[in-house]
Amino acid sequence: MSVLKNITNHIRLLFRKDKEPYLQLKKILGYLPVDIEIYQTAMSHKSLNSKTGNHINNERLEFLGDAVLGSVVADILYERYPDKQEGFLTTLRSKLVRRDMLNRLAEKIGLSELVNYNGKINSAHNSYVNGNAFEAFIGAIYIDRGYKQAQRFIKHKIYDKHVDIAQVEKTEENWKSKIIEWCQKYQLDIQFELISEKVLNDNNTLKFTSRVLIEGVYCGSGEGYSKKESHQEAARQACLHIKRDKVFRRQLISMKAGTSKE
């Protein structure tokens, strides 16, 4: 957007009666939004539907924003770690876009104060509201201003300013504990199975492959240089599969009769 158009938008804003939503978003974005309705949709949780009868919510934008965020973070890491291999980059990216990280980022930039939802939603679901809205917000930026602006926002306004990537790199993520806790919550049976154990050509190094089964259903597999590593990678893949595929997640939960709904 040209400087002249930016100035024009600021002048127009002076004569608007509904200035407050624009100013709130400008504080976060650093510029005035063009299509404010797309940001309002990004801040609308689906729990509002039952209250208002309006079927517009932020789930589609969340889907879009998740893809844009993952792409930009991948680009950041690719440039920052030129000597690291795919496994390292994938693991670090998952740490940088995990739900608790996005929840904290939404709070840091003031986005959590703008999220609209029905206060009656259960606490387990409520814990994801801000992180989901953050992804939807990224999707809104992409639609409103395009990929380059979304990229600049994610890099400079978010990760450069609020995230110590080097520190995140050092933190260990216990994916096995996460998936076990999730299964316990819904009373689902979980098993870790060793699929293979092979000797690599160089210096007789062992490599293990394991898989995760929930209620007998395959959910993910992983490799590692110990059984523990292969279990962790398999658990990580299972967590990502369950997070990204909502239909699959619901199917798993529904397999155990009498469990609480998601």
* Ordered domains of the chain (ranges, CATH): 3-170 (1.10.1520.10), 175-254 (3.30.160.20)
Active-site entry in 135, 181, 197, 229: 135
Is residue 66 flagged as an active site residue? Answer: yes
Q: What is the pLDDT of residue 222?
A: 92
User: Can you tell me the distance from the alpha carbon of 93 to that of 5, in angstroms, rounded to the nearest whole number?
Assistant: 36
Q: What is the pLDDT of residue 214?
A: 96
Is residue 100 flagged as an active site residue? Answer: no
pLDDT in tens, the chain (262 residues): 455 555 455 545 544 555 677 788 989 999 888 888 999 999 988 776 655 555 678 999 999 999 999 999 999 999 999 998 887 898 899 889 988 899 999 999 999 889 887 765 444 445 578 999 999 999 999 999 999 999 999 999 999 999 999 999 888 778 898 899 999 989 999 999 999 888 766 556 678 999 999 999 999 999 887 888 899 899 999 998 998 898 999 999 998 755 444 4
Active-site entry in 20, 35, 59, 66: 66
pTM (2 d.p.): 0.63
